[in-house]
A and B are shown apart, each in its own frame.
Chain A
Amino acid sequence: MSKLADLETTDRGDQASESTIDVSGERQAVAVDAGSAAWEGLPVPAKGRKRRWLPYALYLGTLFVLVTFNFLLPRIMPGDPIDALMALGSPSFVQDDETRAALEEYYRLDASLPEQYLTYLGGLVQGDLGVSIVSNTPVTEELVPRIGWSFLLIISSLAISLIIGLPTGVHSGWKRGKGVDRGLLGFFLSVQNLPIFFVGSVVLVVFSAQMGWFPLGGASTPFNEYGGVAQILDVAHHLALPALLMGFEFATFEYLVMRSSMVSELGSDYLLSGRAKGLTERRLKYRYAGRNALLPVITVIGLQFSLAVTSIIFVERIFAYPGVGGYMFEAVGTRDYPAMQGAFLVLTITVLTTNLFVELLYRRVDPRTAR
C-alpha cells in the first residue's frame, strides 16, 4: 500500500519536493505507512549523524532490552513452567509440594530472579540457549533445523516475489499512466492488503483438503526414500503453497520499487539516444532501463526479511510448517521459558539485524539521510 509512497521517494530525480509542507529529509517518514511499517518493524532512516557507532549502539541496546523483557515478562505473569507441566501432565502424577519443589530444583527455577537472569545471560554469551523444559532437549538443537526450514521458506518466497514483481514493475513503469499500469497498481495494492491468514486458510481448505493437490502440512514427506531430484521436488511440493502465498504478498514491494525506479529512468538521455539508434523497445525496456532501475530493488530485499518474520508466523501455523514461528507459539503455550526465549531471540535478532542493515544501506545509498 503506502509502502508504495515510501518507495516512491527513491524516485525523485525529476521532481522537486514541491509539496506545501515537506521537509525533504523527512520525506520517507511522511510517506511511509505508519500501520504497516510498525507492524512489519520497518525502520525509517534516522536523520544523519556523524556518530557512526550510534545505530549499532541503538540496536544492541534494543536487543538487550528485548532479551530482558523476554526474560522478565513470562516470570511476572501468572503461570510458570511447573504449572504448565502439571496442568498438561499426567493425572496419575502426584502433584504435591514436594514434587513441585523437586521439579523447580531440577529446572533451576528455585534460584532467585537475578541469579536466573545472570545464568541466562551467561548462557547466551556462550551461545547456549538452555534446555527445553517440556522436551528436555537443548533448545539450540531443536531450533537449528527449524531455522533452516524458515530460511528456506523466506528465501523461496523472496525469489517468487522477484519473479512476479520485477517484470510487472518494469512493464508498469514503462507504460506509466496507461490502463495496464493502473490495473497492475490496483491489483498489487489489493493483493498486499489481503489478510494473509485468511487467504492462507482458504488456500489450504481448497487446494490441500478438498482438491488434494498439495500436502496438508509439513516440510517434506516423512520416510520417503526418494533422494536426489525427487526429494527436492517433494520439498518443493510442500513449500509451494506457503511460499507462493508469501511471494505474492512481497511481490507488491518489488513491483512498486521497480515501477517507480523505471519511471525515473524514463526521461534519461540514454533512452533517447537508444531510441535514436533504433534499439528495439523490448531491448531498451529490459536491458537498459530495467537494469539501471534494479539497484533500489536490492535495498528493498533487506526490508522484506524483517517483513517475512511477521508472515511466517501465520503461514507456518496454517500449513503446519516446522519453522521457528510455530516453535515460538508452542513454547509460549507451555510457558517453556528456555524454548520461548530461544525462539523469540532468533526472531528478534533477525528483525533487528535486517533493520540495522537496511538503515546503514539507506545512509549509504541516499546521501540526504546522511546530511
Chain B
Amino acid sequence: MYNMKHRYLTVFVYLFPSLLFLGIFTYYPIFDAFRLSFYKANAFTPQPVFQWFKNYIDFFNNPVFWQVVTNNIIFAIVTIVPTMVLALLFAILINEAKVKAPFRLSLFYPLLIPYAAAAMVWVFMFDPSLGPLNRFLGLFGFRSIGWLGDRRYSLLAIMIMTIWKNLGYYMLIYLAGLQNVPAELYDAAKADGANWFLQHRHVTLPLIGPSTLFVFVVSIIQSFKVFTQIYLMTQGGPGYSSSVLIYYTYEYGFKFWQLGRASTLTSMMILILMFLVLMVFSIFGRRVTYQAG
C-alpha cells in the first residue's frame, strides 16, 4: 500500500507538467492582459505608460467598439439558436431513421474541412455574379445580392457559413444524448396518445438536458472565437459591418500594433466569457442535473 507521502509525491509529479503549461499559456496571459490593459503600449511608445482606465474609456466612447460588440451579440444569437434547433431536429430524425450513415456523414463532414478551405468555397458561393446562391435566388426572381461586399448582408453571409460548418458537430452530440433515452418512454407516451411532436416535447427534451447544456456552452465559446472565416471572407468589412471582438482585437494587436488597447479588448472578452459561462451554469446547471437525475 502507498503511504501518504508517496501519494502526494505522485500527485505532484503527475500534475506539475500540465499545470505548468496551463500557467504559462492560460493563467499568466490573463494576468498579463489585465495588467497591460491599463497601459499605453504601442509601436511608438518604447516604454509602456500607465494610464489607469483610459483605454477602457476610449473604447466605451468609440462607436466602432459598440458596433463590434453588437455584431458579436447578433452573431452569437443568430448562429446559436438555429444551429441548436436544427441540430436537435436532425438528430431526432436520423435517430429514428433506418438508414443513418449517409445523412450523418453529410451533416458532419463540414467540421472536418478547415475554416480556411471552407471560406474559399463560400466566397464562391456568395459571389454576386458567378455564385450559385444568387443564381438560385434569381430563379425565383430575386435581385442579385452583394453578400460579402454589402454591409447589410456581410455578417449574415458569415453566419450562414458558420451554421453550415458547425451543425453536424452539435447534431452528433445530440445523437449521443438520444442514445440514453429509454425507448419504453416513447411507447408510454404513444399509449397516452401523444403525437410525434408531443412525445419529443415531453420525453426527449427533458432527458437530453445535459447535451443541451453542453452544446449551449460550447457554442457560446465558439461564437467568441470566429476569426478565420471573417479574416478570409470579409476582413471585417465593409466598414466594420462584419467585425467581431476577436477580429477587432487582432486588428489592434497585429495590424496597428497597439498592444495596450488590444489587451484592453482581451480583458473585456475574458470578463464577458466568464460572465456568460457562469450565468449559463447558475441558471441551467442545477435544473439540468435534477432532470437528468
- Indicate whether A and B interact: no
